[in-house]
Amino acid sequence: MIGRLRGTLAEKQPPHLILDVNGLGYELEVPMTTLYRLPPVGEPLTLHTHLVVREDAHLLYGFFEKRERQLFRELIRLNGVGPKLALALMSGLEVDELVRCVQVQDTAALVKIPGVGKKTAERLLVELKDRFKAWEAVPGMAPLVVEPRAGGAVSNAENDAVSALISLGYKPQEASRAVSAIKEDGLSSEDMIRRALKGML
């Protein structure tokens, strides 16, 4: 129904954002891999979207690249995988990293993601292997480099980072510890989330 939105980034509250499209504000939830690539608030932005319709809500998910949305759709087709777990998987691992995990059946990487136990990881890898045959020609796993950007107060960035990690399923104590362990000053909330996730995985 809603496949793409182009507008202005109005608000950014990880993992949610509001995209202003001609005066209409769309609230979207995005994986951390998309969050890292967002422009500053007030800048133009185009996102590929997926709409989930439930009895109690219409939920809109946004992705920077089409292949991220494709992966999201593959994940939520699996038994027992809802949008929340799909976003957690995509936030902990880049698309190429997740594809590589499936190719080599690496359960160790998946069980570090909140909500994924050993049995769940094994089942996901088996079910995804056939679905990912079309993804065999993936590029090398080049890490996404995020340049630190000067943002608002560090305390606000820390709070946003902790809230985002909790929304992904991490316990408050784990999230707080992971963010507190980051010693570099002046990081944006996106940079802090990325470093915290890498530290926990």
The CATH class of 156-200 is: mainly alpha
Nearest CA to 72 out of 47, 45, 95 is that of 95
pLDDT given for residue 135 in this prediction:
55
Which tokens hold the place of 33?
């891999």
| Same fold across 4-63 and 156-200 | no
Q: What is the mean pLDDT of the chain?
A: 81
Confidence of residue 133 (pLDDT cuts 50, 70, 90): low
| 181-195 pLDDT per residue, tens | 887 777 888 888 888
pLDDT given for residue 141 in this prediction:
33
Q: Is the pTM of the predicted complex or chain greater than 0.75?
A: no
The domain at 67-137 falls in which architecture? Orthogonal Bundle (1.10)
Superfamily of chain region 4-63: Nucleic acid-binding proteins (2.40.50.140)
pLDDT given for residue 9 in this prediction:
96
- Distance of CA 140 to CAs 14, 25, 31, Å? 28, 37, 21
| 140-171 pLDDT per residue, tens | 333 333 333 334 334 577 878 888 887 777 77
Assess contact for 88 and 113: CB atoms under 8 A: yes
Quote the DSSP letter at residue 56. Answer: S
Burial grade of 165 (CB within 10 A; 0-12, 13-18, 19 or more): buried
All structural domains of the chain with their residue ranges = 4-63, 67-137, 156-200
Q: List % helix, strand, coil for the chain (3-state, nearest 5).
A: 45, 20, 35
Number of CB atoms found within 10 A of residue 185's CB = 7
Determine the Cα–Cα distance for residues 86 and 108; give it in Å rounded to an integer.
Answer: 17
Average pLDDT on 90-102 reads 84
